Structure 1
Amino acid sequence: MALHKLLVDDFYDDTYKLIAIHCGLEDYRLAYLLNQSLGLNLKRKSNDLDFEYLKSSYSIFEWNNASQYVTWNLVSNVCKKEEDSLYSTGLFQSEDKVIKIFNLVPEHKSVDYFIKISDEIQNINDKLILHKLQNIQQIVTSYSVNPSQIKSKDHLIF
C-alpha cells in the first residue's frame, strides 16, 4: 500500500513582495511618510502581531486596495521588552532592568521595518517603490528581500 504525505508548505504560495527598511523613526511617523510619498492609506490594525512563545509583539499597519487587488502591510521587525533581571553579587541581591530585543525575522536583525505587498495580479513595480522610498530623507536605506530565502517566513503570514 502506497503512503501519501502532504506538506503544508505545498499549499502556501509566495505571492508577495518584501521590502526591508532601515530607519530610526517611530512606526506611526513612518506610516505617515509612506502614505504621503507612495499614495497609500496605511492604518494601524487594532491588534498587534503577538507571538506568545516569544513573548513579543510587533506593530502592524495595513491598507487593502480593493481596486487594484493589493494589500499593503507595514510591520515592525524589532520588539524591545524591559524585564527584571535578578542576580546576586555576594551577600546582596540587586534588581535591575534588562532590555531584551526580539526580531520578527531573525535573519535580518538590522532591519527596522518590512513592507509586505501582497498582489494577486503581480502589477506592482518594486523598483519604482524603492526609488520613492530612497527619496524619503528619514529612511537610511531600503531594498528588496526574497521571501523564499527567509527561514522564518511563517512569521510573515498575517
Structure 2
Amino acid sequence: MNASTSHPLAPAPRTFGEAVQRARSDPGYGAFLLLRIGFTVLPIAFGLDKFTNVLTTWENYLAPWIADLSPFSAHQTMWVVGVIEIVAGLAVAVKPRYAAFVVAAWLAGIVINLLSYPGFYDVALRDFGLMLAALTLGRLALAYDPAWHRHTVAARNLSAA
C-alpha cells in the first residue's frame, strides 16, 4: 500500500463524496464500493420485477422439480423469491461483510436450479459469474466493512483495561 491509498480498516466514509474520493485513491475500496452498489441495486430491482414480470416471465426459470416442491404456484413461488431478493439487496446495503456470502449461497442455489433442466445453461453460467463476484464482495468486505461485535460486560472490561 502506498501513500496514496488508505488503510483497509480506516474509518468508513461518512458521505457519498468521501466514498468517491476514497474509491479514487484506493482501488480495493473502489472495487468494494462498486460491488456493494451492484449487489444492493440489482437484487432489489430483480426482486421487484418478480411482481411485475416486466423484464421476463420469471416462472419460466423455475425448474419443474422445484415448482413441485413448493406449496405455492410457480407464480407465487417467484413472489417469495422476489421478497428474498429484495431483503438480500437491503442486507448488502446494511452489512455486506455478512450479506455478500448469503447472496453467494443464494446464487449457488439459482445455478443449481438452472442446471437441473435444459434451456438455461447460458443463464446459469452468468449467475455463476455473479456468484464469484458476490464472494469477491464478501472477501473485500472483510477488509472494508467492520465486523459487528457483541458488547458484553467482559468485552467492555477488556477494552477498559
Q: What TM-score, normalized to structure 2?
A: 0.24
- Bigger relative CO (Cα 8 Å, ≥ 6 apart): 1
- Identify, as 1 or 2, the structure richer in helix: 2
- Identify, as 1 or 2, the structure richer in strand: 1
Q: What TM-score, normalized to structure 1?
A: 0.24
